[in-house]
């Protein structure tokens, strides 16, 4: 029997993964059409871009977490700095709060977020040196969502996400 939107669980998704040109460079990171179609069969897709929601423009300078990971930013023990040297911690935290508010409003138990982003990365992010060095840890929004109990996945984990939370047989 075909699934309807009423039966698909809600899934918070990084807007850039869905093709919205909201990244710092004004581009998207759209997943292949077949992947997006598969996701849409299994979930009600709810796009969010924490950096845009926090008030940052597009395009914008790239930013990295300095002195820790997302959890430390939320605890006031690390900051987010952009490539010009500006402290952009406040909009990153504001965007994380907005993303969680939408997750709660839409009752999202899972989120599919863009890997390696200082907002959305769920396992690693760049280390603040702007030298292309990764360190383990979550981005600011990913950490905020995870602390609130939302399970956060990235685009290389879509198959596991679908097996875990998708509509069976969709
Ligand atoms: S904040 Fe997240 S959704 Fe927005 S552009 Fe960066 S990775 Fe994509």
Each residue's pLDDT, cut to its tens digit, for the chain (170 residues) gives: 454 445 899 999 999 999 999 999 999 999 999 999 999 999 999 999 999 999 999 999 999 999 999 999 999 999 999 999 999 999 999 999 999 999 999 999 999 999 999 999 999 999 999 999 999 999 999 999 999 999 999 999 999 999 999 999 89
The pTM for the full model equals 0.95
Closest ligand 1 atom to residue 121 Cα is 7
CA–CA dist 159, 109 (Å, integer): 17
Residue 143 CB less than 6 A away from ligand 1: no
Q: Which of 21, 114, 152 to mutate to test the pocket of ligand 1 (most atoms within 8 A of CB)?
A: 114
Closest ligand 1 atom to residue 50 Cα is 1
Domain ranges of the chain: 10-165
Among protein residues, the one whose CA lies closest to atom 6 of ligand 1: 23
Q: How far does residue 49's CA lie from ligand 1's centre (Å)?
A: 5
């Amino acid at each position: 029997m075909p699934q309807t939107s009423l039966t698909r669980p809600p899934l918070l998704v990084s807007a850039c993964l869905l093709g919205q040109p909201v990244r710092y460079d004004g581009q998207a990171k759209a997943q292949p059409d077949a992947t997006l179609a598969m996701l849409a069969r299994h979930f009600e897709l709810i796009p969010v871009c924490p950096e845009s929601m926090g008030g940052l423009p597009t395009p914008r300078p790239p930013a990295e977490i300095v002195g820790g990971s997302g959890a430390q930013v939320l605890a006031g023990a690390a900051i987010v700095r952009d490539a010009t040297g500006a402290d952009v911690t406040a909009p990153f935290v504001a965007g994380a709060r907005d993303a969680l508010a939408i997750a709660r409003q839409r009752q999202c138990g899972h989120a599919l977020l863009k890997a390696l982003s200082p907002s959305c990365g769920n396992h690693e992010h760049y280390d603040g040196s702007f030298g292309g060095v990764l360190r383990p840890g979550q981005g600011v929004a990913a950490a905020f969502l995870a602390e609130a109990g939302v399970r956060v996945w990235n685009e290389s984990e879509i198959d596991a996400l679908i097996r875990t939370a998708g509509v069976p047989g969709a």
